[in-house]
Amino acid sequence: MTDTEALLAVLRRAPVVPVLIVDRLEDAVPLGTALVKGGLPALEVTLRTDCAMKAVEAMSAIDGGVVGAGTILDPSQAREAVAAGAKFLVSPGTTPAILDAALDLGVPILPGVATASEALMARERGFKILKFFPAGPAGGPTYLKALASPIADVMFCPTGGVTAENARDYLKLPNVVCVGGSWVAPGDAVKAGDWGRIEALAREATGLKG
């Protein structure tokens, strides 16, 4: 299985990849468990907090979950995330160094792009599944629809400004494999430990179709 096939196998399991900010390590496992129970197995833990790497490590043990690390900014973060148990990587943008690191590590990466030129650069390196970020400010569904014909062999996971209300506008496009969103794990619910609410939001998200 190629890295592209491995990544597709993860992303196609549900229409939404939760984008998670974990402020307290004790929240990691119950949060991830609620999302997986709700039907969202691919979990992107963003490396924006002090406990994020430990959260990746803790979530990697969740039965049925596939944990990835997001907000990868450089090769050292990529290596640390994989060592912590990340099964895929997500970057907000794309640099040759980040792509090289992912290839060296043998772990699928969802490289971030915002323009057609950036998508072509990643495509030239063999990456056909890309993160479209920030999706809303970068042009939204209209922009991605315009790319579908000229760059037909590239698929996207739009993230950034994607909500329960507009997710279907992205998912109906032929070049969108899934969307990334934080609405399935709202901060107030995580802070309150309301895992039932998060599981319910995940179940709602699994019903999103194009």
Token representation of residue 199: 């599981």
Residue 131 a catalytic site member: yes
Tokens 């619910």 correspond to what residue? 189
Among 104, 122, 125, 100, CA closest to 113:
122
Residue 37 a catalytic site member: no
Residue 82's CB is within 10 A of a number of other CB atoms, namely 19
119 residue type, one letter = A
192 residue type, one letter = A
Q: How far apart are the first and last CA of the chain?
A: 27
Between 25-37 and 52-59, two packed helices, what is the crossing angle to 10 degrees?
A: 40
C-beta separation of 6 from 108 below 8 A: yes
Q: Which of 37, 44, 57, 199 is catalytic?
A: 44
C-beta separation of 190 from 25 below 8 A: no
CA–CA distance, 143 with 145 (Å, rounded to integer): 5
Q: Which of 37, 57, 87, 131 is catalytic?
A: 131
Among 19, 68, 2, 56, CA closest to 179:
19
Largest CA distance in the chain: 46
Catalytic residue numbers, as ranges: 44, 131
